[in-house]
A = this chain, B = another copy of it.
Amino acid sequence: MVARRVLKYAILGLLRKDDKSGYDMTSDFKQAIGQFWSAKHSQIYTELKKLLEEELISSYIELSGEKLEKKMYTLTEKGKEDLHTWLLTQDDHLETEKDVFALRLYFLKDIPSADLLALFENQLNLRTDKLNMLQEQFAYYFGEENPAEDLDADELGHYFVLTKALSREENYIHWLMESMDIIRQRQLGE
């Protein structure tokens, strides 16, 4: 699925400020940005190799301790330009945002309400945990008070991504609870 060579640009983007190793990128995808894109280390290492060949990045070795070699990557001029162009690219259509829970739900004509509610309950738990995690992250990085307009340009991307993840999760939970109410109402009428 998915648009063309997104991982390529995700990697170039992660290198926009600091040099990083493949391992660092793997870690990044476990943080905030991992809410919107992610890749396993196996894919990252092969993509890095390709980007080196294409001369969009260059690499050097940094020692971690006495023997452990960290391979650090930097954007080349060519890489910076390519990234810049991609960042300003406007999508001309929206792709399917896949969601297996919603797919499953679409088929649930034969499933008893009780089982249906159990599925919703499970999804609600998972989503609530995620929301809590995101709220903690937000509080940690941006404090309890409203930050908004007076942030560093540097932090703005992080701020947007976290608020987006939060609102997505809140919305999901809200819809889950509304839908559960409907199912319960229908149960009464059975």
Contact = CB atoms under 8 A, between A and B. Distances in A.
B175 A97 contact: no
- Looking at chain A's contact residues, the main secondary structure is helix
Contact of A103 (B13, B153, B170): B13
A147 B174 CA distance: 18
A94 B164 contact: no
A97 B163 contact: no
Interface stretch (A47-55, A65-73, A137-145, A154-162): A154-162
Nearest to A86: B104
B33 A106 contact: yes
A149 B118 contact: no
A102 B186 contact: no
Given A148-B182, A182-B149, A84 B101 contact: no
A61 interface: no
24 contacts: A2-B98, A3-B100, A9-B103, A9-B104, A10-B103, A16-B110, A34-B96, A35-B96, A36-B97, A37-B100, A38-B96, A88-B115, A91-B100, A91-B123, A102-B161, A102-B165, A105-B160, A108-B156, A149-B182, A149-B185, A156-B186, A163-B179, A168-B172, A170-B171
